[in-house]
């Protein structure tokens, strides 16, 4: 008998005390739920250009998450880890 496998991905949004939006996602590298940032927020956080965020994500130095809607988020804890 033929079985169909369906993968359900749950996204959560949380409001912070200061009224901002916080999006938590499951980082495939950290293997846990983490706070995430947009590419622009990550660039501002690291004080670099957005293209440099893309380069760091492509090299694996920071963790990129993709939502089912196609959005691209950055694992915030990965921004705090130094060179390995
Ligand atoms: Zn991560």
30-63 confidence digits (pLDDT tens): 999 999 999 999 999 999 999 999 999 999 999 9
Q: Find how far residue 35's CA is from the centre of its chain.
A: 7
Q: What is the pLDDT of residue 36?
A: 93
Ligand 1 centroid – CA 74 distance (Å): 8
Ligand 1 centroid – CA 59 distance (Å): 14
Structural domain total, the chain: 1
**Per the domain annotation, does 30 fall within a domain?**
yes
CA dihedral of residues 18, 48, 23, 71 (deg, nearest 10): 140
**Per the domain annotation, does 10 fall within a domain?**
no
Report whether pLDDT(13) > 70: no
Range of the domain at 53: 21-80
Ligand 1 centroid – CA 3 distance (Å): 33
**Per the domain annotation, does 5 fall within a domain?**
no
**Per the domain annotation, does 9 fall within a domain?**
no
Which residue has better confidence, 42 or 12? Answer: 42
CB count in 10 Å sphere of residue 77: 16
pTM above 0.85, yes or no: no
């Amino acid at each position: 008998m033929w079985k169909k496998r369906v993968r359900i991905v749950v996204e959560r949004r949380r409001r912070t005390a200061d009224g901002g939006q916080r999006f938590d996602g499951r980082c495939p590298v950290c293997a846990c739920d983490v706070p995430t940032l947009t590419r622009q927020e990550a660039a501002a956080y690291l004080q670099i250009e957005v293209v440099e965020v893309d380069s760091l994500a492509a090299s694996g130095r920071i963790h990129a998450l993709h939502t089912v809607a196609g959005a691209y988020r950055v694992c915030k804890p990965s921004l705090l880890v130094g060179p390995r």
